[in-house]
A and B are shown apart, each in its own frame.
Chain A
Amino acid sequence: MKKFILVIIMFVAFTACDDKDPVPALDTQKEVLVQYSKLVYANYDDAVETAIAMTQAIETFVGNPSEVTLLAAKNAWLVARNPYGQSEAFRFYGGPIDDENGPEGLINGWPLDESYIDYVVGNTKSGIINDPTSFPKIDKQTLINANENGGETNLSTGYHAIEFLLWGQDFNENGPGERPFTDYSITQNATRRAEYLKVVTNLLVDNLTEVRDAWETGSVYSTSFINGGEVSLANVLRGIGALSKGELAGERMTVALENRDQEDEHSCFSDNTQSDIQMNFIGIENVYKGTYTSSKGIVTSGYSLSDLVALANASKNKTVLDLLSQTSLNIEKIPVPFDVALRAGDPSKNIENTIISLRKLSDAIVDAGLAIGIQVNAKLD
């Protein structure tokens, strides 16, 4: 009899210890997706609004080129970069930003083909701007057509084109590019340059608006996304997993570090890369914790991935949260500007430590996904 009871107890013990993490109830899954969609919309909306403000600052600048108006335009660009950097957490799963027709390349293409746009050191006559014969008119369609160039990706529109037009090439070890404001008043083809700048900025607003609207509550995409269950959840994880490991740790930081090349950084004209890195990271944190704070301080928050994971496996949730904190600290320690840290060879290993914690973060995110029954392949790419 004792043996029998022991067997029963053991049997119960074994069946009770289910080592498969439970898949959360369908309505909590959906709640996460609903909140995520609202967060995404709020983020892209912020990007649109700050891009519109940038358009206005640029209109003011080209209407009255001066040190002061140029500085205002540059500041408007820097402000507009913050929401966009955070929104890169929504890439990598073929959503509206980067499906087949997605405008990601038009918006944030890098590296820029400077000679294709304007004069460069060593060739004062290069670029569309300085070629009125081949490009008599500068408008949206001209730029779109020119960018096609036999199916090539776009290297002459987007944030970095605007950046190039405001700051100019950066051959300056101790600071960013120093394009004179007179490029828009006295320098040859000033009017065309102004036109190019305005057109490219308006094109950016169009592209951002298109992506934002795809996420509006009730739109075709957002409705199917919210009802996409595990597929959508996997996409949410894929976005932040891939941004953390492949894009941020990898493409943006490892490559720059390995090359020690001062200007192999994404915001090479303005030297704004440390901020780019920080914004990308905050984007990852936003998605995991379910909160977005706009440039104007408006908060959008709700039921999050963290809540969902915590329900299923508190320990895995804690791992992610800890890595988020650690990464945040590491990023804060990276000296500004980024290119000077690169040139110095990262002596205190701040960049390297950040890379390591971002890779670990990505792995922890994938692991947290398993806790809620989702398998994600967030690879190094």
Chain B
Amino acid sequence: MSRSIHFYLFLVVLLFLSACQPKDSLNPVGQYEVNEEFSGGSLTTFDFGENAFGHSAPDLNFEQENAFVVGNSFFRSNWTTAPASASARDGLGPIFNSSSCGACHPKDGRSAPPSSFGEPLNGLLIRLSGANGKPDPIYGGQLQDKAILGKKPEAKVGVRYLEISGTYTDGTKYSLRKPSYHFSEWAYGNIENGFLFSPRVGNQLAGVGLLEAIDESSILANADINDYDNDGISGKPNYVLDELRKNIVLGRFGWKSNQPNLLQQTAGAFNGDIGITSSVFMKDHTTSFQTDLKDVPNGGEPEISDKNLNDVVFYLQTLSVPARREFRNLNVLKGKLLFCKIQCASCHIPSFKTGSFHDIETLRNQTIRPYTDLLLHDMGEELADNRPDFEADGKEWRTTPLWGVGMIKTVNGHTFLLHDGRARNIEEAILWHGGEAERSKQSFMDLSKVDRDNLFKFLESL
């Protein structure tokens, strides 16, 4: 009899406790939430090695396994100059940023920027526009820094870093590095004066299908453009062009939420980054001014078939997320509480439930923990690229999903973060936060070293 009373009491207490409540004021520890370690719901993997981002959803049937395998193949494999015997994989370029998806998303993870001036770009690309925000007439909307044999790349890019030092409230010193970009050898004419550019590294791909499966209404529920709730945070949705339906829809993928779904993101990347046409983007991305690139043999029309493109998209959609590590560790839980207390969670919203609309059944109705609201936020002057992207202005960036951030070191062998990879680790990434995040950043800087370390432990557990 007393047992069931205890049980009901337990339920009641559970109801009132959220993840963020301190256990008691003398022992502030975040709460472990049941199943929080399953970051991807049933699409959670327990491989914590270098292939942690590359596992598929469990229980795919035979046809789905095949689609995953084919998609993986076309994702990883190099594209070659046309005409090649293996004709399903030719049509590279003639100008490009990399010859495979995997080169910029190695092992479905994050790529690194050049570390010194003169080092070639290997995972970083540069978006372009004129001063008016429209694509440059000669070079278009993206700079391709590589070319097939016998053709010229659009330009050379060198990256330099300037060290900027600062001090925490407790006196500890830190140093950040700010990148600057140097362009030379423009091969197809002068780029217009005052052109705008945006450097972007390849982001990790674990869980992107689950993000695609979130209802629009769930995302918009967190939008607060005018900051009506007066918390200093004003998440803004980006509305972008859907190329297939030719209408304006909510964006959710890309550093500025400029892509609405994985099909368009993937087809856009094939076209802009590798020079591969598809039925979504049938024209090569070169402009009419680049006459030397006109009569290059192509790899078919389109260069990637619908079937292979759809398989690549399916592959991405069914990628699982690595489970949390150390999720019951006391220091991690302390860090989790701090994450809420200093309001990181206002933009890096811990969890969502996916909708029931997605074509792929296993993506529906999953409780996931991506730590993002998928909305745009003003991140301040220091992080700005000053280049608009649909409705995102020059200071706005999408909240990056934090799931998997602690695995980047194991998967990719580095810890470079933020849109241009400037942050050398999680600590620096936090210190770059400004704009809407300025208050949280200040709270972070006011923390003791012990508290800061616990916050890092929590983030590394994601």
Q: Which residues of A contact B (CB under 8 A)?
A: 94, 100, 109-116, 120-123, 126-128, 131, 149-153, 155, 169-171, 177, 246, 249-251, 254-255, 257-259, 261, 263-265, 268-269, 356, 359, 377, 379-381
Whole-angstrom CA separation of A356 from B69 in the bound complex: 13
30 contacts between A and B (CB under 8 A): A110-B86, A111-B80, A113-B81, A114-B80, A115-B82, A122-B82, A123-B297, A126-B149, A128-B149, A149-B146, A152-B103, A153-B99, A155-B99, A177-B85, A249-B69, A250-B69, A251-B69, A254-B65, A259-B70, A259-B308, A263-B86, A264-B89, A265-B86, A268-B85, A377-B47, A377-B55, A379-B51, A380-B55, A380-B56, A380-B68
Across the interface, do A120 and B68 meet the contact criterion of CB distance under 8 Å? Answer: no
Taking a contact as CB atoms closer than 8 A, the residue among B67, B72, B87, B89 that contacts A381 in the complex is B72
Is the beta-carbon distance between A251 and B73 smaller than 8 angstroms?
yes
Among A114, A251, A379, point to the contact of B84 (Cβ < 8 A). A114
Q: In chain B, what residue has the closest Cβ to A246?
A: B69
> Which residues of B from 44 to 69 have beta carbons under 8 Å from A?
45, 47, 49-51, 54-56, 62, 65-69
Closest 8 CB pairs of A and B: A151-B122, A150-B120, A115-B81, A250-B69, A377-B47, A113-B80, A111-B86, A255-B73
Do the beta carbons of B84 and A380 come within 8 Å of each other?
no
B171 is an interface residue with CB less than 8 A from chain A: no
Is the CB of B145 closer than 8 A to any CB of chain A?
yes
- Indicate the size class of the contact surface on chain B: 35 or more
Chain A contact residues, majority secondary structure: loop
Chain A neighbourhood of B68, CB < 8 A: 380
Residues in A with CB closer than 8 Å to B92 are 113
How far apart are the CA atoms of A30 and B78 in the complex, in Å?
39
B455 at interface by CB-CB < 8 Å: no
Q: CB-nearest residue of chain A relative to B53? A: A381
Bound Cα distance A120, B121 (Å): 29
- Is the C-beta of B194 less than 8 angstroms from some C-beta in chain A? no
Q: Using CB atoms, name the residue of chain A closest to B102.
A: A153
CB distance A112 to B65 under 8 Å? no
Given known pairs A122-B297, A126-B150, A128-B149, the reply for A254 and B66 (CB within 8 Å) is yes
Could you mark each residue 172-213 of chain B with 1 if its beta carbon is under 8 Å from any beta carbon of chain A, else 0? 000000000000000000000000000000000000000000
A377's partner among B51, B77, B98 (CB-CB below 8 A) is B51
Residue in chain A with minimal CB distance to B65 = A380
Contact B49 A377 (CB under 8 A): yes
Residue numbers in B under 8 Å from A255 (CB-CB): 69-70, 73-74
B73 and A121 contact, CB distance less than 8 A: no
Shortest CB-to-CB span from A102 to chain B, Å, is 13
- With contact pairs A122-B297, A379-B54, A379-B55 given, residues A269 and B85 touching in the complex (Cβ less than 8 Å): yes
